[in-house]
């Protein structure tokens, strides 16, 4: 018999979703953590001051320049990020030397500085939230390119699963608000549908723009036909895709001319952008006759067109003071990238991004569980079924516990240990491996409850661990009104409570007798 359109869509949705679901769960969960990467960075460096010192931006920028001047007086570029960004009460300075030969990367130095004194500050070595963020598109323990291809393939399947999911959801409007709680298959289907439909705009946007991000990897030949295969030519494309066309920066003149004082330049920028408007400063060819000082305004709307001002570094004259006109395709692509990253998001919008990310993660998890619920009466005992059941548990409980272990390692590993950041990541995967092993060895129903309790403890005890090991615990962050810091502790508490609730509600044994479907129908 010829299968109908909807059946074949269902087939694609079911099997595509199942085979990529475990990787997608990882991608979505670590990506969601990426929305609070700066907050995690700060939490994972508890040596940072509790309160940002009040320093005038021009002074902070000057102190950054002073350090760079001493560290690398002749450089291709200097970069200073003043305090006041999401994660930072400190000042970041970064310099890159002229490359030794064409196409190579110049030597780099960077440091965190105290914005009041300009003296470098040393923090514990950590991967921070950035590492989780990077994992969501490059995975870990493998070459960058391999990770990008695996994630790209799964993302493509995700995109197909979203579209087919909408097609096969026959009652998308009728069931818009429908959730029938319980432990049967129907509750899982309702949950899967709700999480998919209510956050559908986010799912579509995040998946499509995710593919767009690495299109230069996945569709290299298409780009090469226009740009060529040379590394330098591909760079031209990538630069154009990710940055607005660079203002023409001249080559180095080779004649030494001192850099103009910064204060008037900062004053000019603040006149246009408001006080504290300068988010980043770049100096090209410092100390050269062709020096350029560039100020960047932070991203405030989802367009990725970073507004900036370019000054002549020897006279202080304004050379370029606005936004570039972008070709339409570039503007469209950059808007998608910007929507994906959400860098423009303030606290409320950041929460919405985070919640939508969690909804996506939960949608994937519920889809994986649903696959087993649908088949448990028919396939119980089959080897493939057992494998899926174990992998589901190992992923859905194991990875969150791994992330909690990453935070535990951040607090517990010796501070002077070499390779500390790598060891933190190892802790994540070690904890995950242990839970995966546990999932493989224990009876399924009991293993779920046990792992949920482990996850509840792993997250729920983090505020306590934090209070025992640092001065940046809730007792300090809450009275000081440092919500970005407190939110990590409170978020861990909430995750712990959530896992405890699930563990509490889980049946101790797998429901015997009636297949889930019959129970569901009887209840209707």
* Residue closer to another protein (CB basis): 56 or 352: 352
* Token code pair at residue 37: 């990467």
Q: Which of residues 330-359 bind another protein (CB under 8 A)?
A: 339, 342, 344-346, 348-349, 352-353, 355-356, 359
> Which residue, 149, 133, 153, 138, is CA-closest to 87?
133
Residue with tokens 């298959």: 185
Indicate the DSSP class of residue 296. Answer: E
Q: Nearer to another protein by C-beta: 345 or 467?
A: 345
d(CA 290, CA 313): 7
**For another protein, which stretch binds (CB under 8 A), given 14-22, 294-302, 381-389, 454-462?**
294-302
Nearer to another protein, 199 or 425 (CB): 199
Tell the smallest beta-carbon distance from residue 182 to another protein (Å).
9
Question: Which residue number, 305 or 454, has a Cβ lying nearer to another protein?
Answer: 305
Q: Which of 100, 147, 142, 91 lies closest to 119, judged by CA?
A: 91
Identify which range of 52-60, 157-165, 197-205, 309-317 contacts another protein by CB under 8 A.
Answer: 197-205
Minimum distance between the CB of residue 107 and another protein, rounded to whole angstroms?
39
Instruction: Identify which of residues 201 and 384 has a Cβ nearer to another protein in the complex.
Output: 201
483 binds another protein (CB under 8 A): no
398 binding another protein? (CB under 8 A): no
> Which residues, numbered 432-471, are part of the site for another protein (CB under 8 A)?
none
* Dist. CA 452–CA 417, nearest whole Å: 32
CB of 181 to another protein, least distance (A): 5
* Region of 191-199, 308-316, 455-463, 473-481 interacting with another protein (CB under 8 A): 191-199
Residues 72-101, interacting with another protein (CB under 8 A): none
10 Å CB burial of residue 174 (0-12, 13-18, 19+) is exposed
Binding of residue 522 to another protein (CB under 8 A): no
- Looking at 318-397, list the stretches that DSSP marks H as alpha helix, in order from N- to C-terminal side: 328-341, 347-379, 383-396
CB 277 within 8 A of CB 222: no
CB of 490 to another protein, least distance (A): 18
Site residues (CB under 8 A) for another protein, limited to 146-185: 174, 176-181
Smallest distance, Å, CB 55 to another protein? Answer: 28
Q: 342-346: long-range contacts at Cβ-Cβ below 8 A with a sequence spacing of 24 or more?
A: 342/35, 342/302, 343/298, 343/299, 344/299, 344/300, 344/301, 344/302, 345/35
Q: What pairing do the DSSP bridges indicate for beta strands 108-113 and 120-121?
A: antiparallel
Residue 228: which region, alpha, beta or left (left: phi > 0; alpha: psi -120 to 50)? left
DSSP 311: E
CA gap 133, 26 in Å, rounded: 11
Binds another protein by CB under 8 A, chosen from 123, 149, 202, 208: 202
Q: Give the total of residues touching another protein (CB under 8 A).
A: 28
CB closer to another protein out of 20 and 366: 366
If the CB atoms of residues 107 and 324 are measured against another protein, the closer one turns out to be: 324
Angle at 514 between CA 512 and CA 517, to 5 degrees: 120
Q: Which stretch binds another protein (CB under 8 A): 128-136, 159-167, 195-203, 233-241?
A: 195-203
- CA angle 14/154/27 to nearest 5° reads 105
CB of 196 to another protein, least distance (A): 11
In the bound complex, what is the minimum distance in angstroms from residue 476's beta carbon to another protein?
28
What residues does 477 pair with on adjacent strands? Answer: none
User: Which span sits near another protein by CB under 8 A: 19-27, 199-207, 263-271, 489-497?
Assistant: 199-207
Would you say 8 or 178 has its CB closer to another protein? 178
Angle at 83 (CA atoms; ends 261, 269), nearest 5 degrees: 45
Q: Give the 3-state secondary structure of 67-107.
A: HHHHHCCCCCEEEEECCCCCCCCCEEEEEECCCCCCCCCCC
Q: How far is the CB of 451 from another protein (least distance, A)?
A: 26
What DSSP character marks residue 288?
Answer: B
From 108-116, 123-131, 139-147, 301-309, span contacting another protein (CB under 8 A): 301-309
Find the part of the chain contacting another protein (CB under 8 A) among 36-44, 234-242, 296-304, 311-319: 296-304
Q: Can you give the binding site for another protein, defined by CB under 8 A?
A: 174, 176-181, 194, 198-199, 201-202, 300-303, 339, 342, 344-346, 348-349, 352-353, 355-356, 359
């Amino acid at each position: 018999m010829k299968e109908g359109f909807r059946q074949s869509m269902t087939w694609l949705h079911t099997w595509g979703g199942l085979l990529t679901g475990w990787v997608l769960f990882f991608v979505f969960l670590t990506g969601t953590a990426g929305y609070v990467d700066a907050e995690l960075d700060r939490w994972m460096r508890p040596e940072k001051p509790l309160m940002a010192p009040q320093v005038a931006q021009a002074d902070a920028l000057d102190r950054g320049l002073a350090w760079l001047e001493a560290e690398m007086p002749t450089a291709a570029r200097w970069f200073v990020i003043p305090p006041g960004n999401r994660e930072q009460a400190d000042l970041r300075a970064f310099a890159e030397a002229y490359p030794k030969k064409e196409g190579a990367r110049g030597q780099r130095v960077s440091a965190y500085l105290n914005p009041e004194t300009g003296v470098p500050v040393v923090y514990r070595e950590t991967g921070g939230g950035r590492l989780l963020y990077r994992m969501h598109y490059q995975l870990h323990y493998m070459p960058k390119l391999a990770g990008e291809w695996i994630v790209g393939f799964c993302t493509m399947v995700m995109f197909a699963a979203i579209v087919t999911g909408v097609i096969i959801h026959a009652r998308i409007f009728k069931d818009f608000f429908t959730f029938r709680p319980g432990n049967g298959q129907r509750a899982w289907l309702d949950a899967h549908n709700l999480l998919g439909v209510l956050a559908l705009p986010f799912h579509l946007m995040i998946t499509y723009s995710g593919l767009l991000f690495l299109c230069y990897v996945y569709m290299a030949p298409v780009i090469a036909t226009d740009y060529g295969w040379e590394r330098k030519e591909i760079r031209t494309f990538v630069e154009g895709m990710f940055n607005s066309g660079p203002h023409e920066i001249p080559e180095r003149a080779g004649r030494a001319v001192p850099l103009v004082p910064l204060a008037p330049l900062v004053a000019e920028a603040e006149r246009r952008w408001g006080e504290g408007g300068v988010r980043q400063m770049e100096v090209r060819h410092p100390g050269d006759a062709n020096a350029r000082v560039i100020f960047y305004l932070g991203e405030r709307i989802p367009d990725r067109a970073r507004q900036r001002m370019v000054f002549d570094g020897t006279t202080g004259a304004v050379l370029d003071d606005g936004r570039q006109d972008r070709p339409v395709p570039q503007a469209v692509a950059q808007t998608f990238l910007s929507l994906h990253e959400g860098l423009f998001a303030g606290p409320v919008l950041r929460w919405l991004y985070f919640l939508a990310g969690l909804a996506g993660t939960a949608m994937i998890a519920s889809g994986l569980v649903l696959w087993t619920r649908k088949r448990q009466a028919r396939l119980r005992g089959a080897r493939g079924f057992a494998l899926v059941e174990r992998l589901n548990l190992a992923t859905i409980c194991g990875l969150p516990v791994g992330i909690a272990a990453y935070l535990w390692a951040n607090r517990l590993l010796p501070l002077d240990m070499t390779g500390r950041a790598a060891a933190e990541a190892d802790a994540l995967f070690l904890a995950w491996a242990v839970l995966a092993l546990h999932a493989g060895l224990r009876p399924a129903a009991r293993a779920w409850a046990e792992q949920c309790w482990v996850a509840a403890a792993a997250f729920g005890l983090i505020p306590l661990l934090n209070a025992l090991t640092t001065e940046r615990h809730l007792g300090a962050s809450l009275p000081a009104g440092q919500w970005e810091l407190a939110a990590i502790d409170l978020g861990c508490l909430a995750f712990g409570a959530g896992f405890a609730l699930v563990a509490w509600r889980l049946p101790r044994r797998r429901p015997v007798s009636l297949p889930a479907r019959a129970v569901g129908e009887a209840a209707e």
